[in-house]
Structure 1
């Protein structure tokens, strides 16, 4: 595979398995499997959240504040973490702020982001890897097939993040570990 083709392939993989996509798919799966009546509300909440974050990212890139849409530089991350926490908290409130499959998942994801935000002082953990690993563990009770697919895709996503030079190997592996721990924490407390 030529360099440009492999870089393009890595970019496609990174976009297809972006944390927004992964978390949206996980929330929709949880709503569908646990509380089908909440599916329209979940979809609307996800759509609004993605729109808010997308507008923010567009503004940061257009204003020259971020090099990439991924907030790939460590110093770009704190604002990304703050926005993600605000959006996740708003989504949790939108869903009723009560214990449910999706709201507990949102709280676990928020805890994961908090740990990544604190760790950012020393290491820029891959949120792509963390979200996919989290989804792999968290989706197991909902759909073992989806869970296995997510876990199977981790090496491909890791390759893509390394190929695009968005992360180092320790950042990729640290992201996987963070996602696995957060997903396991969600299952243990459920």
Structure 2
């Protein structure tokens, strides 16, 4: 393998790794856990970890089930029809989780889940015009959540968001318009969280 081929292969491998680390099922739960632990509330941190773990298992079980039924080629749900089906499932699951959190959990969790559902809904509604990047939407939403942890957290989160944008372009999963749409949706969700969720919690 020549030097150029090796560099391209390494770039592709790095892009895949960054894309996996920037998956919505990872970045938003981690941001929520950082916020909870930053407030020194051990019970909230454990509760959130349990909720997000169960939700991730639910989504993975659904994805595996679709593959075994022969409806999807892979659990990634990368094809248009697969992605639409997964997003509809995620929308329903997030709305149900938000309703449960509004009844039993902290108001911030309910708002976070509801805004996550809103991001999925925006992606579904805009699919005719744009393949909105949910990776970008959720990583920017997470960055907005972490912005109140201090400048260092905010800068690190924004740098990671830029890396995720690069990875999605490098893997040819999106074009710049998709990433911009996702970033704007995520920033709006972050603004709504701090404007409404924390205002109600105080």
Q: Please classify the TM superposition score into its range, dividing by the shorter chain length.
A: 0.7 to 0.9
Q: Does 1:60 align with 2:85?
A: no
For residue 166 of structure 1, report the CA deviation from its aligned partner.
1.2
- For residue 21 of structure 1, the aligned residue among 8, 12, 26 is 26
Q: Residues 77 and 120 of structure 1 are in contact (CA less than 8 Å); yes or no, is this contact kept in structure 2?
A: no
Provide the rounded CA distance (Å) in 2 between the counterparts of 1:180 and 1:76. 26
Distance 2:168 2:9 in 1: 15
Over 3 Å counting, the alpha-carbon distance change for 1:86 and 1:32 in structure 2 is farther
Q: Which residue of 2 aligns with 1:133?
A: 140
Q: How many residues are treated as equivalent by the alignment?
A: 190
- Residue 82 of structure 1 is matched in structure 2 by 88
For 1:93-172, list aligned pairs within 5 A: 93-97=99-103, 100-172=107-179
Q: Name the larger-Rg structure.
A: 2
Gaps of 5+ in 1: none
**SS of the residue 1:111 aligns to:** helix
- Structure 2, unaligned stretches of length 5 or more? 1-5
**Does the residue aligned with 1:48 lie in a helix, a strand or coil?**
helix
Instruction: Tell me which residue corresponds to 1:179.
Output: 186
Q: TM-score, normalised by structure 1?
A: 0.87
Q: Is residue 39 from structure 1 mapped to residue 45 from structure 2 by the alignment? A: yes
Cα pair 2:133 2:182 within 8 Å, conserved = yes
| Alpha-carbon distance in structure 2 between the residues aligned to 1:11 and 1:162 | 11
Cα RMSD (Å): 2.2
2:7 paired with 1:2: yes
Work out the CA distance in 2 between the residues paired with 1:88 and 1:143: 28
Residue matched to 2:57? 51
CA deviation after TM superposition for structure 1 residue 62, in Å: 4.5
Task: Go from structure 1 to structure 2 and tell me whether the alpha carbon gap of 1:102 and 1:29 turns closer, same or farther (over 3 Å shift).
Answer: farther
Find out whether 1:72 has 2:72 as its counterpart. no
- C-alpha contact 1:129 1:175 (8 A) present in aligned 2: yes
Q: Is the 8 A contact 1:133 1:179 kept in 2?
A: yes
Contact 1:137 1:184 in 2 (8 A): yes
How far 1:187 moved relative to its partner?
Answer: 1.6
